[in-house]
């Protein structure tokens, strides 16, 4: 019994990884079809590249936008908030994150988090010695400024 349970668990994990890879491949493919504009004043050690933006037919008035954020070693992003929901997935390296002045967490390659609307992203940083990249997927109102830095 244990052996078949382990096999089922491994199959579920493979399916999750395949699903994530398919999502990333789809978003990257869309980057060649529908590039988006993202308003951002990120620090020089941080690069934000919009890869897609598509209006959601099943959620009128909303757009799904995907961006790749690259953080050089030691890069730190000022506190900010985003329009709508955000799903963040670490593509490489480690990203240190803190939401609403809560617990600070380090996310390694393959890990993710979600930011509900109204969340203050108190800390975003690359604590490592290598470049870190993350995929951020927004579902926000059409035409919204996706990132606003706190004053």
**Mean pLDDT lowest for which of 3-12, 63-72, 74-83, 113-122?**
3-12
Q: Is the pLDDT of residue 12 over 80?
A: no
Two structure tokens written together for 50: 């919009």
Class of the CATH-defined domain 2-149: mainly beta
pLDDT at residue 13, rounded to an integer: 57
Q: What is the pTM of this model?
A: 0.71
Radius of gyration of the chain from Cα atoms?
17
Q: How confident is the model at residue 14 (pLDDT cuts 50, 70, 90)?
A: low
How do beta strands 85-92 and 112-115 pair?
antiparallel
The distance in angstroms from the start CA to the end CA of the chain is: 58
Residue-wise pLDDT for 23-73, tens only, equals 444 443 333 333 344 444 455 689 999 999 999 999 999 999 999 999 999
Minimal CA–CA distance to 82: which of 124, 134, 144, 24? 144
């Amino acid at each position: 019994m244990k052996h078949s349970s382990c096999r089922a668990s491994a199959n579920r994990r493979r399916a999750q990884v395949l699903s994530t890879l398919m999502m990333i491949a789809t978003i990257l493919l869309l980057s060649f079809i529908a590039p988006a504009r993202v308003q951002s004043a990120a620090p020089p050690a941080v690069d934000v590249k919009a890869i897609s933006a598509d209006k959601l037919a099943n959620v009128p008035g909303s757009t799904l936008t995907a961006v790749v954020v690259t953080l050089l070693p030691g890069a730190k992003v000022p506190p900010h908030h985003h329009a709508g929901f955000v799903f963040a997935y670490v593509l490489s390296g480690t990203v240190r994150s803190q939401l609403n002045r809560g617990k600070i967490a380090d996310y390694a390659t393959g890990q993710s988090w979600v930011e509900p609307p109204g969340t203050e992203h108190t800390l975003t940083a690359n604590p490592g010695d290598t470049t870190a990249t993350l995929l951020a997927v927004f579902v926000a109102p059409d035409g919204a400024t996706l990132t606003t830095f706190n004053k």
